[in-house]
């Protein structure tokens, strides 16, 4: 990525970094960590200004997160108006809202630092009708730690940035696989519980 970016002017690189982070928020299959590491490495090589790079990356991260949150709220609104899903959806919201009311701030804050859990957590936050300003405040606070930390790693270890990027890619794949397995386990458990319940309710 660095060789590709170095072939363009600084203004185009800023725009490209912003666009990549925005696309990551829209579901593009690339880890945000890789983009932030690249930004730090480009500062180390003298291509980018550190403050401008930080602001561009921060805005790209936050706008992508807000999009995911808004998508969750949109899905929530559509399902709540659908007669087919109203009862099921209302039941799930009723169960999930107390948890999010108690642990939502911590969940959103920690998710910003965990690849593979970030996107689903922000979608769920929107689905649970978390306040937009509450979400933005927590996510901004976490991003003010996350973004400069990754950029600093890219700056300090610019010569080893490819090795670090490979580690992040492997970590994201591992966490994604564990998340899918956990979801499958939960669905299997739900299926068997419903089957047992229907068996008990069926008269002999």
Radius of gyration of the chain (CA): 20
For the segment 81-103, what is each residue's pLDDT rounded down to a tens digit?
A: 555 555 545 555 555 566 677 77
Mean pLDDT of 141-147: 95
Token pair of 44 as six digits: 């180390």
- Cβ proximity of 10 and 48 under 8 Å: yes
* Residue written as token pair 């185009």: 12
pLDDT of 72 above 90: no
- Cβ proximity of 1 and 34 under 8 Å: yes
Mean pLDDT of 118-134: 85
pLDDT of 79 above 60: no
| Confidence category of residue 77, pLDDT binned at 50, 70, 90 | low
Which residue from 112, 123, 116, 103 is spatially nearest to 61, judged by alpha carbons?
Answer: 112
Token pair of 4 as six digits: 């590709």
User: Residue 105 has what pLDDT?
Assistant: 87
CA distance 104 to 71: 17
pLDDT of 190 above 80: no
Most confident of 1-5, 46-50, 121-125: 46-50
| Confidence category of residue 158, pLDDT binned at 50, 70, 90 | confident
For the segment 104-114, what is each residue's pLDDT rounded down to a tens digit?
A: 888 899 988 88
Q: Average pLDDT of the chain? A: 77
For the segment 9-66, what is each residue's pLDDT rounded down to a tens digit?
A: 888 999 999 999 988 877 777 778 888 988 988 998 888 999 999 999 999 999 999 9
Which residue from 4, 60, 6, 58 is spatially nearest to 28, judged by alpha carbons?
Answer: 60
pTM of the model: 0.72
* Secondary element (H or E) of residue 39: helix 32-44
CA distance 97 to 51: 39
User: Residue 109 has what pLDDT?
Assistant: 93
Bigger pLDDT: 199 vs 154: 154
């Amino acid at each position: 990525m660095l060789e590709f970016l170095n072939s363009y002017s600084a203004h185009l690189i800023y725009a490209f970094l912003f666009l990549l982070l925005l696309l990551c928020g829209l579901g593009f299959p690339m880890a945000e960590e890789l983009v932030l590491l690249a930004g730090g490495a480009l500062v180390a090589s003298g291509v980018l200004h550190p403050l401008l790079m930080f602001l561009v990356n921060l805005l790209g991260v936050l706008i992508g997160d807000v999009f995911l949150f808004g998508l969750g709220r949109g899905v929530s609104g559509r399902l709540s108006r659908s007669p087919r899903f109203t009862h099921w959806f209302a039941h799930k919201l009723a169960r999930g809202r107390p948890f999010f009311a108690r642990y939502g701030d911590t969940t959103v804050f920690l998710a910003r630092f965990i690849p593979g859990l970030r996107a689903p957590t922000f979608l769920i936050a929107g689905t649970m009708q978390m306040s937009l300003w509450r979400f933005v405040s927590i996510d901004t606070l976490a991003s003010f730690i996350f973004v400069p930390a990754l950029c600093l790693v890219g700056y300090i270890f610019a010569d080893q940035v490819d090795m670090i990027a490979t580690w992040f890619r492997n970590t994201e794949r591992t966490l994604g696989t564990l998340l899918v397995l956990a979801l499958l386990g939960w669905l299997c458990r739900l299926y068997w519980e419903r089957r047992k319940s229907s068996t008990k309710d069926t008269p002999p």
